[in-house]
Each structure stands twice: as structure tokens, then as C-alpha cells.
Structure 1
Amino acid sequence: MSATHRTRAEEPRFADWRLLGLGFWQAWQMVVLCTHKVVAAASPEVPGENPVLILLALMTASYALVVLLSRRFAPFLSRRDSFILAGGLTALGTALIPVSLGLLAGAAALVLFLIGAAAASFGNALLIIMWGELWSALATGRVGRHLYASYTFAFVLFFIAYAMPKAVAIGYATALPVVSAAILAACKSEPRREPSVIPLDTKTVPVGRLLLCVFLISVVWGTSQGMLDPYAGNDGHFMARALLLAGGGIGAITLSMMVSQAPSEAAALYRPVIPAMVIGLILLLLEPMPYPFIGCGLIIMGVYCLDMLMMLVSTDVAFRGRISVAASFGVTILVARTGTLTGTFLADWLPMLPVWSSQMHTDVFLLAVLVLAIIGMLFFTIADVQRLYVTPRSGAADTSLEEKCAAIAAMGKLTNRESEVIVLLARGRSVPYISDELSIAQGTTKHHVSNIYRKLGVADRQGLLDAIEQGGVGKPGWE
């Protein structure tokens, strides 16, 4: 009895709070890009230029640089200096930007701003790629829910900063990436899923089409955010109210995922993206003042769900396809940020055209609605997301479910109790049902489920079902 107790005590368990460390990174993004606490929308110290646009351009270039460096230095999580660079450079840059824009003038201000923005951009890109490396190997069936919880937590951190005086908020924003990097370092002890996994044939993934859709969605996002002035007017709290609505929506989705586990968390993440953005764009055109923040909030909610989807799917594809996370997640987020930069540039450039009018403004939004609708219906559907997790069936189509489970349990070296649990999972039984059936506590059942996912190298129940259907486990992946 005591031996059993020691064995269970020695088994790795997740410290769920550590995975909220990603929220500190996201909160930094929101404070820097969605408020005037760190970066002003326009500044006389950067004549003729938009500091936010410059920062977005440097962020995009930094993702490309990190992807290139990954060919020699990845995985970054294995290098202690990566944590120092990621947190330190982001913090240093965050401190230099407001100094350059608020205390200096002329060429000195511009040079210091570019140095600070470049440092913050590179550190920020490195930090999120490192979080992606961790997320790719997490041994839990709750990855999507952890992502939602992290983003919900980021909204809490954001509104704390929003309520602070500017000087205090700058110090607060400077600390956020340092805390995120420190928590990421603490996550090195979190249990990882085994590298043995049903191999994903990456040739079957329509990479080009999916990346094009991500790019176009991001262009719509950047354009819509850059054209908010007619709606925001003189409302200094417009963006805060929009973010409050977006945070409430993501929080509600987080709560629903906690209550009922979706078979495919990737599908659950993608489901709100297109509808929320389409409805948001339409509301921006139809709603009377002062309510367009509802439309803006829905757009923000949709694009944040897309960000979480990119992290969940691209890191999982990297793990299962045995490729670098930077080559999968890094390229995906680079494409998304390039789209955002393109859309922001268009929003900054189009109003300067001599033919620009309020009607053209409306036409741009209607075109964006059309593009999103076509993408959602034809080119990037829920079925496309599901297809990333479907593996070809093995020849043993007539093998019974119990035999398939027994085969996969043997390959994954599951315990007798885990072998019982996997059969019930394969039959679609819930955690409470399994607990009653086996006369064990729900916490114990969840622990068995997480162990099964870890040993088989799958991310959620849909991946487990695919593994059982395939009837085999692939060779070891990256270590």
C-alpha cells in the first residue's frame, strides 16, 4: 500500500498555475499595443512616422530572425541564456521606448526608440517561440483550456495596468516579460508527453492554403484596428471597453471548456474566429454611437482565438511531425504578424489617398466581411482543422475496440488501471462516468487520463481516438 502511495506521489503532476505564465506575455502585448502607456499612437519625436507601425514592423522582422536562428540554436528551451535574452531584452526595450518618446527629442529620440523597439521585439518573439516549444510537448488533455485560461488571465493583468498611472504602468509592463520568462523556466519540470507518437505525414497538411487564410484574416484584423478612429472618436476608453468585452467572451468560453470537455480542443478554438470577426465588422458599420466598441470587442475576441489556435495546432503538428517548433509555430506566427502589419499599413495609407471617402471606408469593411465569409465557408473550415488530427486507418478494420485498446496500451506501456480507462475513453465515456464505473475519485481518473495522453504522445481525446483507430504507435520523435 505504501509502495503504491510512493509511486503515485513520485508521478509527475501539472502545476496548472505555471501555465498561466503565458498570460504575462500576452498582457505585455496588450499593454504595449492597445494603450498609450508605453507607446503613443503618434509622436513629434518620431517625425512623420507612426511609432506603433514601426514597432509592428520590427516585431515581424524579429519573428523572421528567430526562425532563422532556430536552425542552429533550437530548441531554445534547452539553453539557459535564452531565458535571460527573452525576458531581459523585452524588459529593457519596454523601458527605453517611453524614455525615447517622452524625455528626448530629435535624432537622439529616434535612435533610442529604434534600439528599444528592436530589443523589445526580438525578446518578445523569442519568448513566445519558447512558450510554443513547451506547449508542443505538454502531457495533458487540457492544453486548449490552459490557453484560454492564460489569455483570460492576461485580460486581468491588462486592466490592472490600465488603472495605473503612466509611470507605474511602464514599470509594471517592464516586469511582465521577466515574470513570464521566470515562470517558463519553472515549467521545465512539467511532465512532457512521450516522443513516441503516431507519425503525422506533414505532406497531407495543406500548409500553403492554411497559411494564406491566416494571412488574410490577419490583414482584416490589422486593417480594422487601424481604421477605428471614426468609431472611437474622442472616447479615451473605447479600446478598454472593447477589450473588456473580448475578455468577457474568452472568459465565458474558458468556463464552458472547463465544464464540458470538447473532443477536439482545436475545433473548439477555431469555432468562434470567423463568426465573431464577421459580426464585429458588421456591427461597426451598423451600430449607432457610442456602441461600436461591441463590434471591436468581437473582432479582438475572434483574432485572439485565432492566436491560440495557431499555438495549439502548429506546436502539436511540430511535435507529431517531428519538425522544429520554430519551423511550424514560428512560421505560422510570422505569417500572421506579416498580415497584421500589412493591414495596419493599409489602414495608415488608404486615408491619405485623394479619392478616399466615408463610402470607401464602408466598402473596405464590406470587402473584409466577404473575404472572411469565403475563407470560413470554403478554405479554412472546421473540417480542415479536424483533418489535421485524422490519421489513415490501418488495415485491421475489423479488429474489436478492446483489442485495439489493448494493442495501443501495450505499445504505450500503460498500467492495468490505465488500460481500463483507455477502453472507457474509447467508448466516449466522461470522467464522472469512468470514476463511477471503476469506483475511483474523479481526480484520480483525470490523473490516469493525463498519463495516458503523455505516454501515447497525444494532446486531447480526438488524438487518442485517432491513435486507437490507427492501431499503432510510431517511432520516437525529437528528444
Structure 2
Amino acid sequence: MEDIARNQTQKKTGASTVTRFVEEAASVHFPLVVGYALCQLWLSLCFFAPQLFPDNASVFVYELSLVVCVVSLVPCLLFSRRSERLLEDNRTVWALAACAGIGTLLIPFSAGSSTEAVVLQVAAALLTGIPSGWLFVGWYQAFCKIDDLAGFVLGVVVSSLFMYVLTAVALAPILSPWVMVGIACVTPLVSGLLLTRAPRRDDYVSEAAFPEKGTEQRRALILLCLGIFTVSLADEFMRNFYLEGTDLMFYSSGLNLVLLLAKLLCTVVLVSMLTSQIHHMPLVYRASFLLAMIAVLFMPYTQHVTTLFYGITNFGAFLFKIMVMIIAFNFCHRYRTIPVLVFALTRIAFSLDLLIGFGAYHAYRSFSPIMPDLLGLLSVTLGLLIIATYLFVFADRSSSSLFLKAEGEAASSDSMRDACDRLVRIGRLSKREAEVLALIAKGRSAPRIQSELHVSMNTVNSHTSHIYQKLKVHSRQELLDLIEETAPQESAT
């Protein structure tokens, strides 16, 4: 009887998981999912394009484009609001997409040490480096503003699906490598087209400034970037160590097909968790941690099974990327921080660790002949970095709480007041408008506000109208919902 009851419970749980996934997927903007997946596909093909032409492959473009990406995103940190408007301008998106396509086309011609080759390498790095930062931030912003976290997550696995199908077909010996190059040049244009069709949210309220010093949100943002840097650095080192320039062959392999099926199943569960009341999202970082540790600690012993262990690395990196996306996405909504700033920071962290991880691997290759124990030392060092990151960064209260959307954050009077203070700063409300906002948050009616502030009803209505305009809401209920969904200012402890 107990076995029958257990089986029925398992069936019910499975059904509820599928049901929640279907419900969440019904609200997903699938053209955006495809566009975001194509953007990721382009970047992978762009970085791995030299592998199609081993006789003239050059890694200089890859390294320089990462530097360009980091530098180009600095204005997003300094001029967040202006950058936000630029990324919502279709002309900017088309320019970025065109640069990406042209830069990708230049990569096969940019090998050698002649003056012409160096010029082509620099041009290719500039034309691919800028879109590799800005196009991604544009996509992150689009998903964040329409509150489509499920679509955001689905875009990662759809990109893996595209990559497998493309490499399995286009890498066939009968096809020219230029077919792959042509596809890589077209994908950013299609991605840009879909980004220009993204829904616009003019009522999205956000603050274009770094969180204040001494606050929990500033601590969470710093820890997030630190975690991205350390874990992705280890992933990049392991990618180079295990594959040694055979990435495209791996993506077309049967092992990657098995991983793709596992990613699809995992994505169904993850998307269903986004609306689940059970909240098992911390399992994501535990699984990612376990896979990363297996991959890094076995590096000295995997000479004959390197592809298998890169598969483990790849799946762990997949879970890690989703985990980071969820945290960054919820950070923007919880603290009303402008998405451009948050995602530019995360993109900078990703690009820096790719650059340093790539350089660390080549440094290892140079010193390993004279230091036989170097790989073991690196394995332990990277393992300790991963342990420290997962234990002290993603297990930190300020980060782990961001796995879940803010719900009922402003239940207490103190929290309500702090949330109002945040909205006053975001909307740049006047002193009198701030007083009206605080009274509305307490549930005061317009006549009661008139009485407490000793002003005329016309003045109350005028201040209320200005509050609606500045906070981009259209009714009292929308304003109350905004206050409730806004996390209060939290002091770091």
C-alpha cells in the first residue's frame, strides 16, 4: 500500500511539474527566445571560427575582442539611462548586428603577422567585441523589462539545441567551412531583427545608479560579480584543457546530444520551479558546484577521457549560467536597479574571466614542461576557489535570497517606509510628493491626505498625478503593487 501511495505521489508531482512548465511556457515570448538563442549561437561560432581554418587560425582576435567588450561596456556603468535608451533604438541594434556580421566575416582572413593581417585582426576584434557586449545587454534588458524569466532560461537551452544541429550538419566533410562562416555572419542580423521587435515597457521603473555603500544590495551585486569571475575562469581553463581547440567537434558529438537531452529535461524542471511554491532553486547551485568540483579535481587523471570530463564541465557551466541569470534578473526587479547596469557588470565579469582563463591555460602550457606538478597544483587551487565561491558567495544570504522573486517584501511598516524612500529616489519625487506617497502606502484616502497635510483637494490630486507620472503607474492599485514589490533598503550586516 505504501508503494502504491508513493507511486501515486510521484505521478502527481511529475504531472504538476509538467503542468507548471506548460503554464509558464504559455506566457513566454518565443520570438525573443529564438533571437536570444541566435545571439549566443553567433558568439560561439565567432569565437570558434578559427577552428574551421586550422592552417590560418589566430587566437589574437578572440583575446582582443574580449578586451574590447569589457572597455565598450564601461559607458553602460557610467551612463546607464542613456545606454538604456540607445539599446531601445532600433538603429543602434541594427548597427551592432551589422558590425557583428562584418567582423565575423573578417576572422578567417585575419591570420598572420603582416601589416594587412594585423589591421584585419584589430578590425575583426573591434567589430565583434562591441556587439558581444552590447547585443547581449540589449537582450538581457528586453527580457528583464517584460519580466520573462522563463524565456530568458529557455534561450540558453535553445542555443545549445541550435549549436548541436548546426555543427552536426554543417561540419560534414562534403560541406565547405564557409557554410558555417556564412551562417555565423547571418545569425546576428536575424537576432537583431527579433530584438527590434521586442515589446517595449515604458512603465518599467528603475534607478540608474549603483546601490549605496553599506547596503545589502551592493554587497549582493559585488558577490555576484565575484562569483561569476572565479567560477567562469575555472570553466574557461578547463574548456581549453579538455578540448584543446576541438570545440566544434565536441558540439557535433554524440556525447553533446546526450547532454542536450539532459539540459532539456533540466530546463523543464527549472522553468516549473520558477512558479513553484516549494522553491528548490538552491539545488541548481549545489548541482553546479558538484559538477565543477568533479571536473576540476580530476584534471590530472583524465588524459584518455578528456571529452567526457569536458561534458561534465559543460553541463555544470550550463547550470551555473542559469543560476547567475536568475539571480541577476531578480536583483533588477527586487531592488529596482536599471537592467543595463546590472547586466553590463555581469557581462564584464564573464568577459574578463574568459580572457584570464584563456591566458592562464596558455601560461600553463608554457610552464608545464619544466614544472611536472603544475597541473596538480592548479587543480587544487581552482578547486579551492570554486569551494570558496559556492560556500561564501552563492550560499550568502544576500545572494541565495535572490533565487526567488520579491514577494511581500514590504509587509512591516518599517519595510513599507523604506520601500517608499527607494521609490522617492527612483522617481525623484519632491518632498511634498514623498509625503503623499507615504500616506497612500498607509492606505489613506484622498480626503484623509488632505486633512493630514492641510492642503486643498486639488493639491492632493495634483501631487498624486505627478507621482503616477514619475513612477509610471496609472492607478492607486498599481502604485500599491509597485510599493509592495519593491525591496526596502537593507543594511549589510
TM-score (norm 1): 0.68
Q: Which one of 140, 148, 163 corresponds to residue 132 of structure 1?
A: 140
Q: Choose 165-174 or 49-58, whichever is displaced more.
A: 49-58
CA distance in 1, matches of 2:363, 2:393: 29
CA distance in 2, matches of 1:192, 1:300: 38
Q: Which one of 115, 121, 146 corresponds to residue 107 of structure 1?
A: 115
- Could you list the per-position Cα deviations for residues 14-47 of structure 1 after superposition, in whole angstroms to 9, with x for gaps in the alignment? 5434323210011112222345456x67847x6x
CA distance in 2, matches of 1:243, 1:383: 35
CA distance in 2, matches of 1:316, 1:243: 30
1:204 counterpart residue number:
216
2:125 counterpart residue number:
117
2:65 counterpart residue number:
55
Does the 8 A contact of 1:245 with 1:294 survive in 2?
Answer: no
CA distance in 1, matches of 2:159, 2:140: 17
2:411 is the counterpart of 1:394:
yes
User: CA-atom RMSD, angstroms?
Assistant: 3.8
CA distance in 2, matches of 1:395, 1:235: 53
The amino acid across from 2:126 in the alignment is A
Q: Which one of 293, 297, 300 corresponds to residue 282 of structure 1?
A: 297
Does the 8 A contact of 1:19 with 1:187 survive in 2?
Answer: no
- Does the C-alpha gap of structure 1 residues 95 and 314 become closer, same or farther in structure 2, counting only changes over 3 Å? same
Does the 8 A contact of 1:21 with 1:180 survive in 2?
Answer: yes
- Could you list the per-position Cα deviations for residues 391-424 of structure 1 after superposition, in whole angstroms to 9, with x for gaps in the alignment? 7563379xxxxxxxxxxxx99xxxxxxxxxxxxx
The amino acid across from 1:175 in the alignment is V
- Does the C-alpha gap of structure 1 residues 97 and 456 become closer, same or farther in structure 2, counting only changes over 3 Å? farther
2:153 is the counterpart of 1:148:
yes
Which entry has the higher C-alpha Rg, 1 or 2?
2
Task: Please list, as runs of the form range in 1=range in 2, the aligned pairs for 1:26-425 lying within 5 A after superposition.
Answer: 26-34=40-48, 36=50, 43=56, 50-64=60-74, 66-68=76-78, 70=80, 72-101=82-111, 106-140=114-148, 143=149, 145-162=150-167, 163-164=169-170, 165-188=176-199, 195=205, 203-205=215-217, 206=219, 207-228=221-242, 237-238=249-250, 240-241=252-253, 243-244=256-257, 246-258=259-271, 261-263=275-277, 264=279, 267=282, 269-287=284-302, 289=304, 291-353=305-367, 356-381=370-395, 383-388=397-402, 394-395=411-412
CA distance in 2, matches of 1:375, 1:354: 27
CA distance in 1, matches of 2:478, 2:308: 43
SS at match of 2:291: helix
Deviation at 1:178, TM superposition (A): 1.0
CA distance in 2, matches of 1:80, 1:111: 29
Deviation at 1:365, TM superposition (A): 1.6
1:472 counterpart residue number:
484
- Could you list the per-position Cα deviations for residues 78-137 of structure 1 after superposition, in whole angstroms to 9, with x for gaps in the alignment? 312121122111111111111333xx8721011112101211111221111111111222
- Does the C-alpha gap of structure 1 residues 342 and 281 become closer, same or farther in structure 2, counting only changes over 3 Å? same
Does the 8 A contact of 1:88 with 1:123 survive in 2?
Answer: no
CA distance in 1, matches of 2:122, 2:156: 29
Q: Give the share of equivalent positions with the same residue, in percent.
A: 14
2:5 counterpart residue number:
none
Does the 8 A contact of 2:334 with 2:486 survive in 1?
Answer: no
The amino acid across from 1:114 in the alignment is V
SS at match of 2:337: coil
SS at match of 1:367: helix
SS at match of 2:374: helix
SS at match of 1:25: helix
CA distance in 1, matches of 2:99, 2:369: 43
Deviation at 1:298, TM superposition (A): 2.1
CA distance in 2, matches of 1:344, 1:235: 14
TM-score (norm 2): 0.67
SS at match of 1:307: helix
The amino acid across from 1:113 in the alignment is Q
**Any gaps of 5 or more consecutive residues in structure 1?**
1-11, 398-409, 412-454, 458-466
Does the 8 A contact of 2:110 with 2:118 survive in 1?
Answer: yes
CA distance in 2, matches of 1:235, 1:341: 17
CA distance in 1, matches of 2:246, 2:197: 44
CA distance in 1, matches of 2:248, 2:386: 29
CA distance in 1, matches of 2:350, 2:197: 29
Deviation at 1:379, TM superposition (A): 2.9
**Any gaps of 5 or more consecutive residues in structure 2?**
1-25, 171-175, 415-439, 442-476, 488-493
Does the 8 A contact of 2:99 with 2:131 survive in 1?
Answer: yes
CA distance in 2, matches of 1:340, 1:62: 16
- Could you list the per-position Cα deviations for residues 226-257 of structure 1 after superposition, in whole angstroms to 9, with x for gaps in the alignment? 3236xx69998346446545433322211223
Deviation at 1:211, TM superposition (A): 2.1
- Could you list the per-position Cα deviations for residues 326-381 of structure 1 after superposition, in whole angstroms to 9, with x for gaps in the alignment? 22110122022212211211111233237743421122122212221222223321
Deviation at 1:177, TM superposition (A): 1.0
The amino acid across from 1:88 in the alignment is A
CA distance in 2, matches of 1:132, 1:235: 26
Does the 8 A contact of 2:143 with 2:151 survive in 1?
Answer: no
